[in-house]
Amino acid sequence: MQRVFEWAWLSLYTLFGLMFYAMYAPWLLLRHTVVGHAKAQMSNGFLFRLGLVPGAIGKVESPVWFHAVSVGEMLTIVPLIKAFRSRHPGIPALVTTVTEAGQRAAIQALEGTGCIVAYFPLDVLPVVSRVLSRVNPRLFVFSENEIWPAFLFVLEKRGVPAVMVNGRVSERSLRRFSRVPLFRHAFKRVSVFSLQSRKDYDRLVGFGIDPSRLRFFGNLKVDRALLAAAQLLTPPEVFSLKAWKAKKGGLWIVGGSTHKGEEEALLRALGVLLDAGVQATLLLAPRHLERLASIESLLKEKRARYTRLGTIGDTERFDKDVVLIDRMGTLFSVYSLADVAFVGGSLVPKGGHNILEPLMLGVPVLFGEHTENIGELAQGVLELGLGKRLKDTSALEEELLSLARRPESLKEAASRCRAFILEHKGALEATAELLFELVHEAGGVRIKPGSSLDVR
């Protein structure tokens, strides 16, 4: 009876999918015709969405298929794809995304790796059946919480393992999945879950997933950020500031990736601290350096004692309250100076920016209510006590004053941040090892004679 019920849901899902396909396919084919040869790779990728398999994809036999929906997810799994390719250069890799921005990011980030990049096929049963029959993947690896019922159904029927990497599941998403049997069953078709946190692990166990299929490896974003940070050089001016911090003391605040309106808020908060007799220094790092002139005008208007990072010398006497960061690529190094960091794009409606960078350095974070770009991560930070969400400018002032008066709370938060990084790093190596094991269990893969992995 359960199987019949499941088929009924899948049939209904397929019916609606076919109706969408009938409307979408003519537009996509027209776009392919208009695009022509100028964007051949992108247009071929579009055709793949319709179940049409271009020659470059059809020439490879049993690739490992990696999938991420858009830019952020794709860039997170790029190091994993590269690690796999370096370990198994003879095994083809197919990489798909849903969005055009994700497609561009994949093509750029994976240039020279031999990966084939295309769009993910529409999740309509006849389409995915045709695609999977032609491509015949050995393994399907997808990022975070992308659930495609028809695709996973056909994968299971063909005996192809599906692996969720960097997986995350919120209570809200699981409640949504549990209400729709089709998605509930699709979730249970995933062979292995590699999860970001223990809470994700516990939620899936509560959802009815067999614990033997669950792995807790940490967050791939942490390892990606660590890899990027390892390639950065600390400018000498930052070393000078570290020496001056040791002499001056007080609360050092970094405002990172700030937008218009957030510099004003941070300067008001700094004024409140100074008026209260708190020794404090603010390091302002705007998101866009073309705004430096307008920020300097604001600093002069507020009569702030400030200097630019680029004008600091080893012998200069440091008696400033504000340092304006005027160099690209220095923010991570600057975060190392912070006792607490405010991450911008969050008090104003920009969706929030990278809160992992300060956390990696053991620096607790503050951010506003606009966290659409970092929603899951921001929620995790709040749950673990690694930072605080601020409603408005007044809340920022109150929180900074409170932290200045309770230095022990900053030390405790910094300790939690360091523990968070220790717990979550290493996901790249562990996840790559899992994929290696699964590929070896599945056996060898051969490329059809005369085929090439480089389609550009």
Quick check: 283 and 307 in contact, CB under 8 A?
no
Does residue 283 fall inside a structural domain? Answer: yes
Quick check: 352 and 256 in contact, CB under 8 A?
no
Does residue 447 fall inside a structural domain? Answer: no
pLDDT at 54 over 90: no
Calculate helix-pair angle for 262-275, 292-301, nearest 10 degrees. Answer: 30
Say if residue 125 is in the same domain as residue 198: yes
Q: What are 171-179's contacts with CB under 8 Å, separation 24+?
A: 171/203, 173/145, 174/203, 174/204, 174/206, 174/207, 177/147, 177/207, 178/207
Task: Read off the pLDDT of residues 128-148 as tens digits, 9 standing for 90 and up.
Answer: 999 999 999 999 999 988 889
Mean pLDDT across 318-322:
89
> Which of these, 24, 20, 56, 66, lies nearest to 163 by C-alpha position?
66
DSSP reduced 3-state for 243: helix
Does residue 361 fall inside a structural domain? Answer: yes
Tell me which residue range forms the domain holding 142. 2-217+431-442
Quick check: 354 and 343 in contact, CB under 8 A?
yes
Q: How many helices and strands in the chain, by DSSP H and E?
A: 20, 14
> Residue 422 CB: number of other CB atoms within 10 A?
11
> What percent of the chain shows pLDDT beyond 70?
88
Task: Read off the pLDDT of residues 83-113 as tens digits, 9 standing for 90 and up.
Answer: 999 989 999 999 999 888 888 899 999 999 9
Secondary structure letter of residue 289 according to DSSP: G
Burial class of residue 24 in the structure, from the number of CB atoms within 10 Å of its CB (0-12 exposed, 13-18 middle, 19+ buried)? middle
What was the pLDDT predicted at 454? 30
Does residue 279 fall inside a structural domain? Answer: yes
Task: Give dist(CA 361, CA 310) in Å, integer.
Answer: 23
Mean pLDDT across 2-13:
68
DSSP reduced 3-state for 173: helix
DSSP reduced 3-state for 282: strand
Q: How far is CA 244 from the centre of its chain?
A: 35
Say if residue 398 is in the same domain as residue 268: yes
Residue for token digits 């396919």? 25
Say if residue 185 is in the same domain as residue 311: no
Say if residue 83 is in the same domain as residue 178: yes
> What percent of the chain shows pLDDT beyond 90?
53
Quick check: 77 and 220 in contact, CB under 8 A?
yes
CATH number of the domain that 238 lies in? 3.40.50.2000
Q: How many domains does the chain have?
A: 2
Task: Give dist(CA 224, CA 165) in Å, integer.
Answer: 14
Say if residue 177 is in the same domain as residue 260: no
What was the pLDDT predicted at 314? 58
Say if residue 206 is in the same domain as residue 260: no
What was the pLDDT predicted at 4? 58
Tell me how many degrees the CA angle 381-386-390 measures, rounded to the nearest 5: 75
DSSP reduced 3-state for 284: strand
Say if residue 102 is in the same domain as residue 146: yes
Q: Residue ranges of the alpha helices (H) in 36-138?
A: 40-49, 55-58, 71-87, 100-109, 125-135
Does residue 453 fall inside a structural domain? Answer: no
- Residue 114's φ and ψ, nearest 5 degrees, are 85, 5
Quick check: 252 and 404 in contact, CB under 8 A?
no
pLDDT at 354 over 60: yes
Find the helix or strand (DSSP H, E) in which 43 lies: helix 40-49
Say if residue 238 is in the same domain as residue 198: no
Secondary structure letter of residue 191 according to DSSP: S
CATH number of the domain that 13 lies in? 3.40.50.11720
What was the pLDDT predicted at 172? 80
pLDDT at 455 over 50: no
Quick check: 309 and 326 in contact, CB under 8 A?
yes
Does residue 76 fall inside a structural domain? Answer: yes
Say if residue 301 is in the same domain as residue 401: yes
What was the pLDDT predicted at 194? 95
Task: Read off the pLDDT of residues 167-199 as tens digits, 9 standing for 90 and up.
Answer: 988 888 888 888 888 888 888 899 999 998 888
Task: Give dist(CA 8, CA 14) in Å, integer.
Answer: 10
What was the pLDDT predicted at 394? 96
- The neighbouring-strand residues paired with 139 are 64
Say if residue 266 is in the same domain as residue 205: no
Does residue 200 fall inside a structural domain? Answer: yes
Of 432 and 315, more confident: 432
Say if residue 131 is in the same domain as residue 277: no
Taking the alpha carbons at both ends of the chain, their separation in whole angstroms is 50
Does residue 160 fall inside a structural domain? Answer: yes
> Which of these, 307, 218, 287, 269, lies nearest to 401 by C-alpha position?
269
Say if residue 143 is in the same domain as residue 44: yes
What single string gives the DSSP state of each residue in 125-158? HHHHHHHHHHH--SEEEEETT---HHHHHHHHHH
What was the pLDDT predicted at 176? 84
> Which of these, 44, 140, 146, lies nearest to 94 by C-alpha position?
140
What was the pLDDT predicted at 451? 32
Quick check: 256 and 335 in contact, CB under 8 A?
yes
pTM: 0.72
What is the total residue count of the chain? 456
